[in-house]
Amino acid sequence: MSTPTAGFTAFDLTDPTTFVHNDLQQFWAEVRDRNPVFWHESRWNCPGFWVISRHADVLAAYLDATKLSSARGTVLDVLMRGGDSAGGRMLAVTDRPRHRELRNLMLRAFSPRVLGEVALRVQRRADELVDRVTRSGSFDFATEVAEHIPMSTICDLLSIPSADRSDLLRWNKNALSSDEADVDPLAALEARNEILLYFSDLAAHRRVHPGDDVVSMIATAIVDGEPLSIDDVALNCYSLILGGDESSRVSAICAIKAFADFPDQWQAVRAGDVDVDTAVEEVLRWATPALHFARTATADFELHGRSVRAGDVVTMWNVSANFDERAFDTPEKFHVRRNPNKHVSFGHGPHFCLGAYLGRAELRALLTALARTVSRIELTGKPKRVYSNFLNGHSSLPVTFTP
């Protein structure tokens, strides 16, 4: 292991309360200027790790699958506990060449034919939900709207029975974050296990009785000359359900909060003065649903004069990169006309998010539905942040929509 020079230690980036109780924008600006690659000291019996904060360096790290491995895990909490047991089996935590084979399999689930049909259902669902809540007075956008669009979309893709979807949503919300600081730490593990057990049973059934759905496709596919084990099918379905729900849900909530905070930007979208797709990209940059991703160094290398050693954990902080003054003009402003907008909210390189098309389609459908129906968006209570050092966003957002 390396013995790196000390870095910034003002905030503990392993502690969810750091992100719940602090606005870290100034902290990240100082880090980018003064110490763009620094060593985060070990705390609470957790090992130390490298922090990469600048946009260009984060992009380069995402691209470098040779020296930076995903196989031990890609989330800080998991790596601090020793690594991910799904390494080499689940797409997100697999390196080449196995990663390429799994990704090609999963890409078939996101073909234009399949996604085109799903996108039409997304728009209908968004229209119905927005129309229902617009005249209801104050309501919680997070629970009344945002929870239903992405979960229903990914469940449609996987052909999950309607009766099972509320359980999956509940488990999903506990798997990577929580609403409170005092939640039993075993709750997240139990939620993840429930999801895996559910998909193990479903995969076993659909291997014998396949249908025209993504679970059946993965369960019956041949990878490297043989079918995936039922456990590996479950792991990759688990990855899809987590990725397809969490990031899209918090991005939608962030969009509403941003338009409430910056009403002039909402009026520009509503009036058609800006292309909806351009506005979607700014929402994604502003939301940055995943605060960070992580890798493990497989070789020694230097970055900004820092000596990274094989075995070191390296974290790429999207929440800093997306607000880097070197990559974005006035990044502290929410500007729906921003173009170009090379955010890293979906990652970059070999592990670029498979669900990026769906995530964009869901936000596009939401903004389109709102523009047809809602003239003004106002907060009616204090938003409540999720308790996580990975997921960035709110679990509650009381608002009113003026027709």
| 376 φ, ψ (degrees, to nearest 5) | -145, 140
Higher pLDDT, 134 or 114: 134
pLDDT by residue (tens digit) across 321-375?
Answer: 999 999 999 999 999 999 999 999 999 999 999 889 899 999 999 999 999 999 9
Q: What are the CA-CA distances from residue 88 to residues 18, 169, 178, 179, 348 (Å)?
A: 32, 26, 27, 31, 20
**pLDDT for res 2:** 40
pLDDT by residue (tens digit) across 161-212?
Answer: 999 998 988 888 787 655 666 666 677 788 889 999 999 999 999 999 999 8
- Which span out of 24-38, 107-121, 240-254 was modeled with the highest average pLDDT? 24-38
- CATH entry, 16-375, from 3.40.50.970, 1.10.630.10, 2.40.50.100, 1.10.1740.10: 1.10.630.10
Q: pLDDT band at 4, cuts 50/70/90?
A: very low
Report the alpha-carbon distance of residue 55 to residue 376 in Å, rounded. 34
Q: What are the CA-CA distances from residue 236 to residues 96, 122, 174, 181, 288 (Å)?
A: 16, 23, 18, 29, 23
Q: To the nearest whole number, what is the mean pLDDT of the chain?
A: 92
pLDDT by residue (tens digit) across 17-42?
Answer: 999 999 999 999 999 999 999 999 98
Burial of 41 (0-12, 13-18, 19+ CB in 10 A): middle
pLDDT cut 90: percent of the chain above it: 76
Higher pLDDT, 299 or 241: 299
Burial of 88 (0-12, 13-18, 19+ CB in 10 A): middle
Closest CA to 351 of 154, 71, 36, 79: 71
Higher pLDDT, 115 or 287: 287
What are the residue boundaries of the structural domains of the chain, listed by start? 16-375
